[in-house]
A and B are shown apart, each in its own frame.
Chain A
């Protein structure tokens, strides 16, 4: 099995806050990331691709059109439909990229999406996994969040 990892980047602003929560609750759960003015990151995407062969440039064109054009230089909460109601955490952005690309890259197969938010933080998503579907409780995120 050969797996090719292709790297892309985009820069975007986001706020971590839910519109159906009070400011105080958003502050409590998301900390400084709940600042309504937003803050930004230079995000790095790493796509793991299988069966790529020489389809690299085709993949680049699809990623550019369907992902980068949608996310780059945007305020994610306000300008990207997928995040109108979904909080654009790194986890949710990675899942959004997976959902956008997983069926779109044939004959290459998407094996994983890694999203690097800062030099210290990254997330990886490989599609829905049965043992991940359960909600293990939502009370963990009580303290301020440092992103």
Chain B
């Protein structure tokens, strides 16, 4: 069973050419796991929501990826490297290796997928 939750946030970044720009990022987080026989759920959606808010929204929303987070001090972020980082942060915070996939879209014309 796959379960997917969505989040939007806004963040700016400075790419390798030195141009600063921002996006409304759309993030879809997909977990894969069995239906818990007792509760009928894969995960408590409140818990998933809280993890996404803590690991992603609180860190990146209305921030500059370069200047306001420690992750891109030495290298310019790309949508791909940002997506890989988001996968890693969520994977560390979620139980039982439930994280299966994220889809991160800086615009509606571009989506980066990271699969386990």
Contacts and interface: CB of A to CB of B under 8 A. Distances in A.
Interface of A: 16, 29-31, 86-92, 94-95, 119-125, 132-138, 140-147
A147 B2 CA distance: 17
A131 B46 CA distance: 25
B38 A92 contact: no
Interface stretch (B3-11, B17-25, B73-81, B102-110): B3-11
A12 B36 CA distance: 23
Contacts of B33: 132, 136
Interface of B: 1-7, 32-47, 49-50, 95-96
Contact of B1 (A95, A134, A146): A95
The A interface is mostly helix, strand or loop, or mixed, namely loop
A122 B3 contact: yes
Contact of B41 (A86, A91, A119, A124): A91
9 contacts: A29-B39, A86-B40, A121-B4, A123-B3, A135-B37, A136-B36, A143-B47, A145-B45, A146-B45
Contacts of A92: 35, 40
B95 A140 contact: yes
A1 to B, nearest CB: 19
B25 to A, nearest CB: 15
Contacts of B7: 120
Contact of B36 (A123, A138, A143): A138
